Structures are given as structure tokens and as C-alpha cells.
Amino acid sequence: MSGWLRNLILPERFGRVIIRRKTRQKIIALTFDDGPNPLTTPRIVELLHRYQARATFFVNGINARKYPELIKTTNLADNEIGNHTETHPYIIFKKQKEIIKQIISTDQIIRKTGYTGIIHFRAPYGLILPSLNRVLRKMQRHPVSWTFSLLDWQCPAPEVMFRRFIRKIIPGAIVLLHDEFTIEPSNRENTVKLVGMILEKYSTEGYQFVTISELMSIEE
């Protein structure tokens, strides 16, 4: 994400945005954006299952429509499915009518797979601007952002991302990762390796990996 986009992520100005749960419990919410991706999502789901961990997958409707079975298998493994709009547009350039269409159409695609859980929403690029916030208030939804990103969309080495994770991690954190690129399918090999490293180390240290809904249900 470019510098000017990062500077636009100012959730405090535009209403409540979920970025972390304040807690002393060893709980982490891993989140994965832009999928599902047949090259990557099943491998991440398998790793989560192996370590009895859960996560939230913020899917793009365009990919969910292509791979509905991946939504089903991800959900059946006790993970949560979130809405990341249909085509991952720059919300800053969209009118309210188009924003509503992007959100509702993706909700509908997710529901058609049989998913019955809560559908949390994450804005593309994390941009929480007044036009989007007005829409979300009408829909009685709060956007989910993140405590920190591991910048896996830049494809750094797993070891580099892991060191960043160790420096940044705090109880109740929401971690941003990706199981797909927005523009074209990608084998997120480094992300898969990183997830394995995180789960292996922190599971043995007593951390639990939970969904956004589970995280928000924890008492502070």
C-alpha cells in the first residue's frame, strides 16, 4: 500500500472501527483478505485445523463466486467468512449507491454457499471515509481494520515477516494477511510458510487463534 493511502486510514475520525480487543488473555485474530484462492486458501485452512486454530477470511465477491466450495470448506473448518466487497474498489471514488451494491452483492454470494454466521466487513485498503461510514451506520455494521499488517502483499521472506510479528504482537491483536492478490491469482507461498511459523511457535506458548466474533466476545 502506498504512503498516501496509508495516510488516509484515519478511523478515529469517522466512527467506531474494530482494530483490537483490549485484553490480557493470550488471544490473536489472524485475518486473510482478498480470497478465496485455490492455490493458497486450502493450505492455510489445513494449517489452522492442525493447530486447532480459527481465523476470519475477508473474501472478495468476485472470487467467492468463482470458488464457492472454498467458502464452504473454510466455514466447515470453523473459520469465519467476512465481506471485503465484490471487486475491491477504491471506495474513496465511489458513490453510496455503488458502495451499498458492493457490500450487499458480496453478502448474497457468501450466503448462497450456506454460510449462516456473522458477516463482518473490512474496507478495501482499510479506507474508512465518511461516505462509507454513513453506509455502514445505516446497515448497523462496524468495519474491521487491523492492529498491524505483516506486509505480505509485498512478498517479503517469511523470516522477515515473522520477526515483524514477534515485535508487534500483543494480546487481542488483529493481524492482516492475504490469501490472494486483488488483481490476479497468486501463490502466496511466503504467507503460507509464515502462518505455519506463527501457529507452531505461539500455540506452544499458550496463545489461542480466534475469529473476529470470538475476539469481540472476550471481556476486557
Q: Which among 33, 34, 152, 179 is annotated as catalytic?
A: 33
C-alpha cell at 203: 500455540
Asked about 33 being catalytic, the answer comes back as yes
Give the integer Cα–Cα distance in Å for 27 and 18: 15
Instruction: State CA 68 to chain mean position distance.
Output: 18
Asked about 178 being catalytic, the answer comes back as yes
Q: Which among 88, 120, 178, 179 is annotated as catalytic?
A: 178
Give the integer Cα–Cα distance in Å for 179 and 32: 6
Q: Which amino acid is at 124?
A: P
Residue 218 region by backbone torsions, left for phi larger than 0, else alpha for psi between -120 and 50, else beta = beta
CA angle 52, 56, 58 (to 5 degrees): 150
By annotation, the residues acting in catalysis are: 33, 178
